[in-house]
Structure 1
Amino acid sequence: MLSRRPRDPAALPRLLITLLALLLLWPGLQLSELDLRVLVDGDNARSMGSFLAGFWPPAHDGEFLALLGRATLETLAIATAGMALALLIALPASLLASRALSLSALHRGGRPAWWANLARWPVRGVLIFLRSVPEIVWALLFVRAVGLGPTAGVLAIAITYAGMLGKVYAEIFESVDPRPGRALLLAGSGRLSAFAYGVLPGASGEMLSYSVYRWECAIRASVVMGFVGAGGLGQQIDLSLRMFAGGEVASMLITFLLLVLLADQLSRLLRARLL
């Protein structure tokens, strides 16, 4: 007699979770007024087709390629300079927000005192505020403050990514083995020395991996912020779209694709070499 196949005990919870997700998704689709039929509507399809037809052939004259090269280098510079400034803010902020080097936790079984946790909340609140405002909003504010150009993009990336990096770095510091850092603190070492020799060696791999990923994101963000006047490829794409120069837009989109692929390959190389 064939034995009956065992019943999956998690089948009913999975089904209920799936139904709950669908129930929550439906009001969201209704509020967003998503209607995919507009993509195949006759007039819209013809307009989209004529718009895309202007993308071929991509622009490739010498004067435009020189402009494209400058915009590409500007995009890379915005992302890299913004990340550098973000690191200068994120590293000290993450040390202040982390419990990894808490002196009050040394003799309390690893649990910091309540007043120590309370003292960290102002720093954590600042990091929450920095990352809660999207970088494009910061870019709009800085464009008004410092004018059009890459400076607004650099500052926007620096502020937003400082909040993101600071939060994640603090969590990484708390996730590594705390015993080396605590042993150094108990031996009379300063907090910076305990961090450099007890915490950083175990956290450097994850920090590097996340930092490289955020640099890739910064490249994409710098292009988006160009649409509000923050320089780089995004600003040139916006100008070409306004002039209905589809060939120029196609060339810049291809360049942006190659730029993202280059950043991805560079991040893979760094992870393989250093992690």
Structure 2
Amino acid sequence: MLTPAAPLRDPAALPRLLLTMVAVALLWPGVSLSELDLGVLFDGRNAEPMGSFLSAFWPPAHAEDFLALLLQATLETLAIATAGLSLALLVALPAALLASRALSLSAVSRGGRPHWLANAVRWPVRALLIVLRSVPEIVWALLFVRAAGLGPTAGVLAIAITYAGMLGKVYAEIFESVDPGPARALLGAGATRLQAFAYGVLPQAAGEMLSYTVYRWECAIRASVVMGFVGAGGLGQQMDLSMRMFAGGEVASMLLTFLALVLLADLLSRLLRGRYA
């Protein structure tokens, strides 16, 4: 006689429930400290001002003189993001090579035990990358606006400093995550570390690096827009002026332009990954 099968029970149900309860208990004080109140969005007193504000967004501004101004601001934003990211790459790539253990000769020859001289170079570089990315770009922009005056220069320098730290950290982690076999074989055969990087590490890391770099370019576009509100030029500065004049149609046109730029970055990422990855 067959005995009835025992009911199926997820053995991880209790740990998941406990973990959820712990997460809620930890997050609840944060919600309280942030003074989050979603009820204000549905308050009748706020509905009319919000409706008036949103209704001003339609139709988007499309006057010829405004579109010419929008094109100039868009090109300036792209230039700020591209120039800032290019300067960041000049710092991030060599810093990532110094901070990564992927090409460490000591790791190859001593079974993973780094030499003290390698650490003497690696840890200061990692500390520098932490310092560069720990200060938000908007803070750097405020400082450079005071030093260099209003305009795109402050935005370029702010993006270059912050993104150098971000790119250097992620590139170093990408280098260390690839298969170390080819690079170690090249190093063992007498190749230089630059050759081992070019033929053993870079081909494996190229796809991930390209994807992250284009993503950071997209982030740089958004950051340049935000920095425009503090006088760093580009679309952000123009949007600040339009919002001060309550020109909702102009703001709507700029938001549509932001959407187009993000779609452009996504398309560029796909093309580069398909071509070089």
| Post-superposition offset of 1:63 | 0.7
Which residue of structure 1 lines up, in the alignment, with residue 191 of structure 2? 189
Deviation at 1:127, TM superposition (A): 0.3
Distance 1:135 1:20 in 2: 34
One-letter amino acid matched to 1:110: G
Instruction: Give the secondary structure class of the aligned counterpart of 2:205.
Output: helix
Tell me, yes or no, if structure 1 residue 100 matches structure 2 residue 105.
Answer: no
Matched residue type, 2:186? L
Partner of 2:47: 45
Question: Offset at 1:114?
Answer: 4.5
User: Aligned partners of 1:64 and 1:197: how far apart in 2?
Assistant: 50
SS across alignment from 2:109: coil
Deviation of the 1:56 alpha carbon = 2.0
Tell me the equivalent position of 2:248.
246
For residues 120 and 173 of structure 2, the distance between their equivalents in structure 1, rounded to whole angstroms, comes to 17
Q: Which residue of 2 aligns with 1:139?
A: 141
Aligned residue identity for 1:80? T
2 CA distance for matches of 1:2 and 1:147? 80
State the TM-score, normalizing by the size of structure 2: 0.94
Structure 1 residue runs without a partner (length 5+): none
TM-score when scaled to structure 1? 0.95
Question: What pairs with 1:43-192 in structure 2 (closer than 5 Å)?
Answer: 43-192=45-194
Distance 1:83 1:273 in 2: 21
2:35 alignment partner in structure 1: 33
SS at the partner of 2:270?
helix
Q: Any idea what SS the aligned residue of 1:106 has?
A: helix
**Structure 1 residue 230 displacement after superposition:** 1.0
Question: Aligned partners of 2:113 and 2:176: how far apart in 1?
Answer: 12
Percent identity between matched residues is 80
- 2-side partners of 1:141 and 1:247: how far apart? 32
Partners of 2:29 and 2:120 lie apart in 1 by 39
Query: Shift in Å at residue 118 of structure 1?
Result: 4.1
Mapped pair 1:210 → 2:212: yes
Partner SS, residue 8 of structure 1: coil
Shift of 1:139: 1.1
Q: Which runs of 4+ in 1 moved over 3 A?
A: none
- 5+ residue gaps, structure 2, are none
Equivalent position amino acid for 1:244 in 2: F
Verify: 1:236 aligned to 2:230, yes or no: no
For the residues of structure 2 that align with 1:117 and 1:170, how far apart are their CA atoms?
Answer: 15
Distance across 2 between alignment mates of 1:118 and 1:175: 22
Give CA deviations for 1:12-55 in whole Å, capped at 9, x if unaligned: 11001100111111101110001111112222211111122222
Aligned residues: 275
CA deviations on 1:85-126 (whole Å, 9 max, x unpaired) are 111110000011011111222221133235523431100000
